[in-house]
Amino acid sequence: MIRLENVTKEYPGGVKALDQVSFKINKGEFVFIVGDSGSGKTTLFKLLLREIEASSGAIYIEDVDIARIHKSKVPKLRRSLGVVFQDFRLLKDRTVYENVAFALEVTETPKSVIRKTVPALLNMVGLKGYEKKKPNQLSGGEQQRVALARALANNPPILLADEPTGNLDPQRSWAIINLLKDINLRGTTVVVITHDREIVNTMKKRVITIQNGRIARDDTRGEYWHELTHSTI
């Protein structure tokens, strides 16, 4: 599903955010990508979305070398990925229903399908009855649920979540993580970039640890591992 081969990203000034990174994420996996601030997690996320391009190496998503995709095709690539951001990125002037429907409208989904799909998605994330509310009427956890529903609108095979619990309290964080777990059980490949040690250590899923732009550890059922102490935290 996702494959990186010797990926390096060097910014102006010679700063290497990622250095010879290689890993593969298979269909149906649930993977945490962890690391301290400045480790290269954000750069990796942007590379997967083709917001930036690697300096060298190759990134494949469903066997497609994304560096070879023409710029005009990049939006289509991104629509094939469900993406959840830490800051939600909801359209503030639209209702919950309209926010989720928008993801379907841009793919020219028929209105009759949208009318059936949106309520089903909102019901799945526990927001039945919230259709007419605006984002400013929702809690942080509820906004993240809307973002999840929107990310799943086009039934993507892969869901990327960048710090999805970063702005939430522990109770709401676990609610989002449990939703991601349920989504994964339905067959979606889930990749979560996070620094939340408690969640990572409790879930016991595959953990890829990035330190100083390199893969420091890759455990099938691991914990948040710290390079400086060579131990879990």
Which tens digit of pLDDT belongs to each residue from 119-159? 999 999 999 999 999 999 999 999 999 999 999 999 999 99
Residue 95 lies in a domain: yes
pTM: 0.91
Q: Please state the rounded mean pLDDT for residues 86-109.
A: 95
Q: Please state the rounded mean pLDDT for residues 53-74.
A: 93
Q: Please state the rounded mean pLDDT for residues 100-120.
A: 95
Residue 127 lies in a domain: yes
Mean pLDDT estimate for the chain: 92
Residue 6 lies in a domain: no
Residue 37 has a pLDDT of: 85
Please give the share of the chain, as a percent, with pLDDT higher than 70: 97
**Terminus-to-terminus CA distance in the chain, angstroms?**
30
Residue 215 lies in a domain: no
* Confidence at 232, pLDDT banded by 50, 70, 90: low
Residue 223 has a pLDDT of: 86
Residue 63 lies in a domain: no
Q: Please state the rounded mean pLDDT for residues 12-33.
A: 95
Q: Print the domain residue range for 120.
A: 89-155
Residue 84 has a pLDDT of: 93
Q: Does the structure show a pLDDT above 80 at 114?
A: yes
The number of folded domains in the chain is: 1
How distant, in Å, are the alpha carbons of 15, 50, 77, 209 from that of 8?
11, 14, 21, 16
Residue 188 lies in a domain: no
Q: Please state the rounded mean pLDDT for residues 163-173.
A: 90
Residue 18 has a pLDDT of: 97
Please give the share of the chain, as a percent, with pLDDT higher than 90: 82
Residue 47 lies in a domain: no
Which tens digit of pLDDT belongs to each residue from 197-231? 999 999 999 999 999 999 999 999 888 876 544 45
| Bridge pairing between strands 206-211 and 30-34 | parallel
**DSSP characters for 47-61?**
HHTTSS--SEEEEEE
User: Residues 178, 85, 33, 213: what is their CA dihedral angle, to the nearest 10 degrees?
Assistant: -170
